[in-house]
Every structure is written in C-alpha cells, then in structure tokens.
C-alpha cells in the first residue's frame, strides 16, 4: 500500500504551493490515476513518492514504512519508475539498458542476460530480435516498452508511471495500455499513473484522484466519478470521453 498523509510541497518557503494537503491511499495491487492539467501538481506528487522531490510537510508510507527514514537510492531501486522521456542510454544495448540497475547491484552477467530475455519477452520485444539493438534502432513505442522492462527488472511491488503514454501515437498508446494492464494484474503491482487524459484514467485505474492547483478535488472509482463528478472541473474533464463515445455511437448507428 501507498499512503500519502497531508502532503504539501512549496518551492518558496510556503508562500505558494505546488501540492497542498494531499492525502490518499493506493491499496496493494491496485492502480491509482493522478489526473489533472498542466501545473495541477500530479507529477510533483508522484515524484515525492520515490523522493525525487522531498515533501515540505506530511508523511508518505510505502508498505507501512515512512520513506523519509529510508535511503533514497535504495528506495528508488525497489520502486519501478516509468516516465515519458524514457531515459534510455544510447550507447548501451537494449538488454543492458533493461538490466542496468541489476548490474549496479552486482548481479552476475549470466543472470542479467536471463532476466533481460524474460522481461523483453514479457513486453513483446523478443530478445532474439531486440536484445542487441541500440535505442536509436527502435520506434518510440518500442523504447517505451524497454522502459517498462527496465522498471520491472528489480521485481518491484510498486510502480510509478509519469505520463508514460503521452508522446505515443493512438494505436501504440492503446497497445501499451493493454500491455500495462496485463503486466500489472499478473504481477499484482501497486501502481500510480500520472495522466492528463480522462479516458486513459477511466480505462486503467481502480481509483482516480483529480487534482487542480495542487489540491485533490475528487477521489473515486471510475464508476463513482461518472455517476457523480462532484465538482465542475471534474465534470468538464469527463465531457470529452463522453462526447467522443456519443459521437462514435451516432456514426455507427
């Protein structure tokens, strides 16, 4: 479980807040979507969970342990992290990118090779074809798959995803969303996904927390938000997927 207790982040000594008094829980094995527009505080919030950003106040617990009492490097090694820009090292092969963290941990080469093969197969990049390639030889969707495989290499129970599909074309995005769902369910991952896309949040998340100006406006399941937005901003975010759905139904009638 991930638990945020009254978390705030200020960059100017408390005059303004990027995140203000956020409290939420992510049950074990579930997916929480942090949803909102640019500047809503969602990326800042997710980066505080693995201490890429330190909170100004409040507590964050992962599996009941206060993360501020843990070594930040060791904390990040047990939390998978996938982000939009991917961050693959261009001079390394795909397999070496996937197992970079394991190499830093001293895992033997033969074991790393076996793990890379298994993970690449899991994300539908057969190792026989892709393991020896460089990132420059891959498409954007393939590089994102490598990013997923790398995040899974240390067998995390918690995964953070910061706009992981935002830069992809619609077909690739849909394919990777389905792959993520399969992996998340098969490994029982506890995950937090940052997105600005309400349709994506509705499809991928068990619980959605809608943020605006650093605060959480509404928390609920996709069904709960659809039945009762509870806020004008949330209702506005729901307009687009509803309108698209109605248009598709009209066109197919």
Q: How many domains does the chain have?
A: 2
Residues 44 and 53 sit within 8 Å (Cβ to Cβ): yes
Do 69 and 194 lie in one domain? The reply is: yes
Domain that holds residue 39: 2-78+158-252
Cα(53)–Cα(17) distance, integer angstroms: 14
d(CA 134, CA 154): 21
Order of strands across the sheet with 65-66? 19-26, 2-9, 57-62, 65-66
Residue 20 in any domain: the answer is: yes
Whether 165 and 108 map to the same domain: the answer is no
Per-residue pLDDT of the chain (253 residues; tens, 9 = 90+): 999 999 999 999 889 999 999 999 999 999 999 999 888 999 999 999 999 999 999 999 998 899 999 898 888 888 988 887 677 899 999 999 999 888 888 899 999 999 999 999 988 899 999 999 999 999 888 888 898 888 888 888 899 999 888 777 888 888 888 888 988 998 899 999 999 888 899 999 999 999 999 999 999 999 999 999 988 899 888 887 777 777 777 777 7
Q: 66: phi > 0 → left, psi -120 to 50 → alpha, else beta; which?
A: beta
- Residue 42 located in a structural domain: yes
């Amino acid at each position: 479980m991930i638990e945020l207790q009254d978390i705030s982040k200020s960059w100017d000594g408390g005059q303004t807040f990027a995140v203000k008094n956020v409290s939420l829980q992510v049950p074990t094995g579930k997916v929480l979507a942090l949803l909102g527009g640019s500047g809503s505080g969602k990326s800042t919030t997710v980066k505080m969970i693995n201490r890429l950003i330190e909170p100004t106040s409040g507590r964050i617990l992962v599996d009941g342990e206060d993360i501020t009492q843990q070594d930040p490097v060791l904390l990040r090694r047990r939390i998978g992290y996938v982000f939009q820009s991917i961050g693959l090292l261009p001079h390394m092969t795909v397999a070496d990118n996937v197992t970079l963290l394991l190499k830093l941990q001293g895992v033997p080469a033969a074991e790393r090779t076996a793990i890379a093969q298994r993970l690449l197969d899991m994300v539908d990049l057969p190792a026989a074809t892709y393991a020896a390639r460089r990132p420059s030889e891959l498409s954007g969707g393939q590089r994102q798959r490598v990013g997923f495989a790398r995040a899974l290499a240390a067998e995390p129970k918690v995964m953070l995803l910061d706009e992981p599909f935002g830069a992809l074309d619609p077909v690739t995005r849909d394919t990777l969303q389905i792959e993520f769902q399969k992996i998340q369910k098969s490994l029982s991952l506890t995950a937090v996904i940052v997105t600005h896309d309400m349709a994506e949040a509705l499809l991928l998340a068990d619980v959605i927390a809608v943020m605006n100006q650093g605060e959480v406006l509404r928390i609920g399941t996709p069904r709960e938000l659809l039945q009762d937005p509870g806020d004008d901003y949330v209702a506005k975010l729901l307009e687009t997927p509803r309108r698209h759905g109605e248009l598709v139904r009209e066109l197919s009638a």
